[in-house]
A and B are shown apart, each in its own frame.
Chain A
């Protein structure tokens, strides 16, 4: 009897937990359902849960609602370039902060800390004027170079580098390994989890970024997917929600695929970062 009661409570708990999980996932399921409905179905009451016949056409229509091939290409170029550039700059800097002592180190480290704390919402006006002076406003560069220094990455990587045993480095130096070889052969392989974390975090935040491209671009040809999808709201008016949701599903798709494969690393990356 006692055991029965216990099980009852347990199952109630399981059901409530699943209900809570659904509460957070439902809007995305609803997005997919709407994306496959006809206009008439979206306007009906009570709402249609599962469309009578899936309207794949909505996706075609959404993708014809703007130059989406260009948006997607821009998103890929921007995100890819940022990650490559950040890695090239971050690895030597993290190594220097971890393994050398030099005059001014606290000052430079403090500068990195400052870069970590100052949000783009504060710096966007002066950065825009600066890049306009450099004549870059009509290119993709304003969406890439301001992110060349990844302060969070430098912190995390420095932490990893400091944990690598000094003996390993000394023995490599005895073998006359150059500093470059040391980083390439020892430091990088041994800090792979940190590098994966940083890359994933960078990918998610820049793929999803809306504010920066919004304030840096004034022409369609250099905009990323986030702005393209948001613009569907204007071009499709306020009634064609099935088309807007189809476009939206295209934006969410890649992130959910990446999340499905790397959920543990992504979760860890976000817990580490503290700030998004």
Chain B
């Protein structure tokens, strides 16, 4: 009998043990190790030669132009992707709000880019944006508009990457926003209709305030997601031309073998940014729960 109660007491721990072991090994320990590495000049070939360098890696980060360039690119990318996706997804969701068969099919269609691998998406757009034989320049030429260099000029490369990212994201966020729109009680709209409120007024005074918690939520999720951008850059531009599309994660990636300590310090910086955004996210989450 005594055995049974002991077993009862430790059972929940046994049940969560494998899951917690995974988290400890592959999330928590690596976070600590990353911070540790960021204080070292790490020697990959001969670890005994690794040297403790205090804050040297961090001092280097904040004095180097290429880091600020990567951070700046990431910020431009994030602001561009978040703002454009937000506006276009909101418009799409409003347009496809009604629960009809056609709307469901269209929503299913615009969602496809989101479930396809970023590798495929990047390669298809790389081909379409090819300056001499690509589809986009053929289209521009036939409309009498001068063709663009797209990804091959440092002036247009980042914008081109943003276009692809927005194109991929719209379907997904339109879906989440339209779920939010459908949760708004119809009786509120009926009341507004009785008052003869104009459509613009209904949107700005009723719809927007009612879905604003979800919109904030999406805003934070999208910002965190955009800060981690890597795949699309790696495949489409390789950070170029002239570092025009080097983002924070790409920057870390490019130092991962040559200067591990420095890459780790950049990683800690990314972790801090994401931590801050996550904090905001949970503040919003708790407030949202509070509302309901």
B1 within 8 A of A: no
User: How many A-B residue pairs lie within 8 Å, measured between CB atoms?
Assistant: 236
CA of A46 to CA of B134, assembled, Å? 10
Chain A neighbourhood of B126, CB < 8 A: 233
**With A46-B142, A102-B13 in contact, do A25 and B109 touch (Cβ < 8 Å)?**
yes
B146 within 8 A of A: no
> B19 contacts which of A18, A112, A146, A259 (Cβ < 8 Å)?
A112
Tell me the chain B residues, 121-139 only, with Cβ under 8 Å from chain A: 121, 123-128, 130, 133, 135, 138
A117 within 8 A of B: yes
Q: From A16, which residue of chain B is reached at the shortest CB distance?
A: B95
A72 within 8 A of B: no
CA of A47 to CA of B178, assembled, Å? 37
- Contact B95 A17, beta carbon cutoff 8 Å: yes
Bitwise, A217-245 to B at CB < 8 A (1) or not (0) is: 00000000010011001000010010011
CA of A93 to CA of B271, assembled, Å? 27
Bitwise, B68-102 to A at CB < 8 A (1) or not (0) is: 00000000000000000000000010011000001
> B127 contacts which of A43, A118, A214, A244 (Cβ < 8 Å)?
A244
A60 within 8 A of B: no
Chain A neighbourhood of B263, CB < 8 A: 125
Q: Count chain A CB atoms within 10 A of each CB in B107, B120, B127, B141 and give the residue with the most.
A: B120
Chain-B contact segment, one of A51-59, A163-171, A188-196, A266-274: A266-274
CA of A117 to CA of B224, assembled, Å? 10
Chain A neighbourhood of B109, CB < 8 A: 21, 24-25
**With A25-B112, A204-B115, A259-B115 in contact, do A122 and B267 touch (Cβ < 8 Å)?**
yes
* B contact residues, total (Cβ < 8 Å): 84
- Contact B26 A146, beta carbon cutoff 8 Å: yes
A14 within 8 A of B: yes
B113 within 8 A of A: yes
Chain A neighbourhood of B278, CB < 8 A: 117
- Contact A45 B141, beta carbon cutoff 8 Å: yes
A77 within 8 A of B: no
Chain A neighbourhood of B18, CB < 8 A: 88-89, 92-93, 148-149
* A contact residues, total (Cβ < 8 Å): 82
B205 within 8 A of A: no
Chain A neighbourhood of B58, CB < 8 A: none
Chain B neighbourhood of A211, CB < 8 A: 230-231
- Contact B31 A121, beta carbon cutoff 8 Å: no
- Contact B30 A127, beta carbon cutoff 8 Å: yes
B188 within 8 A of A: no
CA of A145 to CA of B26, assembled, Å? 9
Chain A neighbourhood of B30, CB < 8 A: 122-123, 126-127, 130
- Contact A34 B127, beta carbon cutoff 8 Å: yes
Chain A neighbourhood of B225, CB < 8 A: 275-276
- Contact A27 B124, beta carbon cutoff 8 Å: yes
- Contact B26 A149, beta carbon cutoff 8 Å: yes
Main secondary structure of the interface of B (DSSP, over half): helix
> A126 contacts which of B37, B221, B249 (Cβ < 8 Å)?
B37
B34 within 8 A of A: yes
- Contact A45 B138, beta carbon cutoff 8 Å: yes
> B117 contacts which of A129, A214, A252 (Cβ < 8 Å)?
A252
B167 within 8 A of A: yes
CA of A129 to CA of B264, assembled, Å? 12
CA of A245 to CA of B110, assembled, Å? 21
- Contact A30 B118, beta carbon cutoff 8 Å: no
**With A122-B31, A267-B175 in contact, do A241 and B95 touch (Cβ < 8 Å)?**
no
Bitwise, B150-185 to A at CB < 8 A (1) or not (0) is: 000000000000000001001110011001000000
A208 within 8 A of B: yes
- Contact A122 B253, beta carbon cutoff 8 Å: no
Chain A neighbourhood of B206, CB < 8 A: none
A256 within 8 A of B: yes
Chain A neighbourhood of B111, CB < 8 A: 263, 267, 270
> A46 contacts which of B9, B128, B138, B217 (Cβ < 8 Å)?
B138
- Contact A149 B22, beta carbon cutoff 8 Å: yes
B244 within 8 A of A: no
CA of A275 to CA of B124, assembled, Å? 24
**With A43-B133, A121-B252, A125-B267 in contact, do A230 and B123 touch (Cβ < 8 Å)?**
yes
> A214 contacts which of B28, B116, B133, B234 (Cβ < 8 Å)?
B234
B16 within 8 A of A: yes
Chain B neighbourhood of A8, CB < 8 A: none
Shortest Cβ-Cβ A-B pairs, 10 listed: A149-B22, A208-B117, A126-B30, A93-B19, A126-B33, A96-B15, A92-B15, A123-B30, A100-B12, A21-B109
Which A residues form the contact surface with B (CB < 8 A)?
A: 14, 17-18, 20-21, 24-25, 27-28, 30-31, 34, 42-43, 45-47, 88-90, 92-93, 95-97, 100, 102, 105, 108, 111-112, 114-115, 117-119, 121-130, 145-146, 148-149, 151, 154, 179, 204, 207-208, 210-211, 214-215, 226, 229-230, 233, 238, 241, 244-245, 248, 251-252, 255-256, 259, 263, 266-267, 270-271, 274-276
Subset of 10 A-B contacts with CB under 8 Å: A17-B103, A24-B167, A25-B112, A108-B16, A149-B19, A214-B234, A230-B119, A248-B119, A248-B124, A255-B116
